[in-house]
Amino acid sequence: MISNKYKILVIEDESNIKNLLKALLETSGYQVITAKSCQSGQTQFISHRPDLVILDLGLPDFDGMTFLKEIRKESLTPVIIVSARSEDKDKVDALDFGANDYITKPFSSAELVARVRSALRNSRHSADEGRLPGGKFESDGLVIDYDARRVFIDKKEINLTQTEYNIIALLSEYSGRVMTYAAIIKAIWGYVDINSTKKLQVNMANIRKKFGAKPGEKNYIVNELGVGYRMCERNE
């Protein structure tokens, strides 16, 4: 029987977690292939062409990063990194090397499935996700009109500067995905200097103020401390 389910490749050496992920994803309606090492992961990747990869960074043979770099040479298949807290710096590196998202151990099943769903949706429609005909992004009361370069919250227009608008537009284009400080800076200013993280954070603080965001409450933009920002998707 040929199934049209999404195929997910799970690369994880810890067999308990691997079995758990397999069971969890299968009950959520995905087809799951597993691999225990970087090398067998690569073989599986080539022969099965999965729609998404869940990758543990600490693998027995090579670093998960090696796998990521290898497949990014020729494919844009979404990759979700599973990392332990001690690998904080690796997380940023992985995102900068083209991973789509990361999730920190220990994670809840709901969290993981939500990330998988969002990564798959993003890759399917790529940058069109959330855009209505006429170049609009909509999420939960936040509307971005790309043609007019205007932003509304609950139908009220928010006055943003050029830079602020560019940041919002960029984040919305990759909504659901973590954008690292470095990635945003490169896209907005084109160059990185010693003050650019600060510049970005000041801009973000102003955006939050204009958006009326309150610390600790659900906001349109989630800040991932020390890593970057992520715009929430619809209904997330």
Given the rule CB under 8 A, which residues bind other proteins?
A: 85-86, 88, 106, 181, 194, 197-198, 201-202, 204-205, 208, 213-217, 219, 222-226
Pick 13 or 224: Cβ nearer other proteins? 224
Pick 1 or 225: Cβ nearer other proteins? 225
In whole angstroms, how close is the CB of 158 to other proteins at the nearest point? Answer: 18
CB burial of 78-98 (b: ≥16 within 10 Å; e: otherwise) equals bbbbbbeeebeebbbbbbeeb
Sequence-distant (6+) residues with CB within 8 A of 45 are 9, 53, 71, 77
In whole angstroms, how close is the CB of 94 to other proteins at the nearest point? Answer: 17
Tally of CB atoms within 10 A around 30: 22
What sign does the CA torsion over 148, 149, 151, 157 have?
negative
Pick 85 or 156: Cβ nearer other proteins? 85
What is the pairing mode between strands 79-83 and 101-104? Answer: parallel
In whole angstroms, how close is the CB of 214 to other proteins at the nearest point? Answer: 7
> Side-chain half-sphere of 221: how many Cα atoms within 13 Å?
27
The answer to whether 167 touches 203, Cβ cutoff 8 Å, is yes
Pick 6 or 181: Cβ nearer other proteins? 181
In whole angstroms, how close is the CB of 224 to other proteins at the nearest point? Answer: 8
Pick 3 or 86: Cβ nearer other proteins? 86
In whole angstroms, how close is the CB of 202 to other proteins at the nearest point? Answer: 6
